[in-house]
Amino acid sequence: MATSQDQLSSVIVLMVPFPAQSHLNQLLQLSHVVSSYNIPVHYVSSALHNSQIKSRAPNHHLAKIHFQDLPTPHFVSPQPTKTANNFPTHLVPACEAFDHLRQPFLDLLTRLSRTAKRVVIIHDYLMSYAVRDCDSLAPNSETYAFHCISPTSEYAFVRGAMGGGLGIDHDHDNQLKIPSWPSSIDPRFDAFVAKQYPFVRANKSGHLYNACRLIESEFLDFIFDKVLESDDKMKLWAVGPLDTLTICKKSPLNNSINGDSEQVYYLEWLERQKPNSVLYISFGTTTFLEDRQIEEMAIGLEKSEVNFFWVLRDADRGDIFGDEQKVGGPQLPKGFEERVKGKGIVVREWVPQFEILGHPSTGGFMSHCGWNSCLESMGLGVPLIAWPMHSDQPMNAALVTEFVKVGLAVEEWEKREELVSSSTIENVVKRLMDSDEGDEIRKRAEKLGGELRKATAEGGVSRLELDSFISHITR
């Protein structure tokens, strides 16, 4: 899309993320993409969370971004602990603290609005309360909500709020089975979401989704027509998967691996494995597994005799740089790593997930099904073993396993409170990585990955929507 330099120089974009790693990451991806159109982009968050995202992001995502540090609101940062519904309640204080960024953000907006014809605010929808009155205080600003969850999970949220009376047919035959929102979220966080919702619906400038119409068009249409109650002025753009806009094919680890000895060892291990032979295992930044579940996992993996790359970390605290870190971390059975040496590798630090999934040796992904992980896996054509824990994850798992059929479920969501046995883990790992059934799922995943990469390439459906959004804000 051609846009004159005069237009571009008159517009600046402020990205306002929510303080959770997957949300921080998606807004950074969008920042990287928007800045590629030669539009100045300011990434606005607390100094603490700007430091967090910069410490974990690929270097090429940082080159053109202006980071704006707002004063970090005080919040407690408790240790991650197991909860009844697996929801990371230890992060709630950080979430609630960010409601108080309203005034610091308005001060920044006032200053920047003097230097541009138009200031475009793209905020995580969970930050709607904090940016709610920007349009009225800065007449040359426009505010757009960015949705970091899948349209499928948002549909489930609305269905629950309306008493479950909504239905979307899958293939006009069986209604798609999507878990209920109340079964996967903590009431305290649910109240936080409810606080944002009136301001999300009141936003008439527009909404962006890290989603693709190739797989979720019916859910996007439902949201636009029934939830947002669209009028002629409000628009919706589905511009995902954002990660495939920058790296669209399987390739060796690149810019995120900088040659440090701490990272080279697992790069070298991956390079020695056969194509599609490694199961990558990671449960994101908010999941807490008890030692007895880790033990069952280890036994199941060992018995499966499948090659694996297991990221075994504690969940992030609200302040990942805090001094009071848990001593020792998750514990493996005695002698496990020695017994699986050469067959599997256990990594306890932060790793560049997208690049690992994109490595030719990676043939499967056991995941908590956070939306960022699902998009990365689907975009790279890697099939999933779905093990959702909380929030939108069970809805994403349903999309992956039932709708696009590029994954297997570890167990039914109704059994989420039960310990998953080593035999169950062994069985599902073999099904995906060493069976004809797994080969067929992998073929579907690779086909879907190709379609999603085409969608984000020049002329693809997601790229056209992105171009439409850029044209709109630079009009």
- Structure tokens of 385? 């073993």
- Active-site option among 90, 124, 207, 359: 124
Task: Tell me if residue 232 is catalytic.
Answer: no
**How many angstroms separate the CA atoms of 176 and 239, rounded?**
24
**Do the beta carbons of residue 250 and residue 359 sit within 8 Å?**
yes
**Do the beta carbons of residue 51 and residue 27 sit within 8 Å?**
no
**Do the beta carbons of residue 250 and residue 363 sit within 8 Å?**
no
Task: Tell me if residue 436 is catalytic.
Answer: no
User: Which residues are known catalytic residues?
Assistant: 23, 124
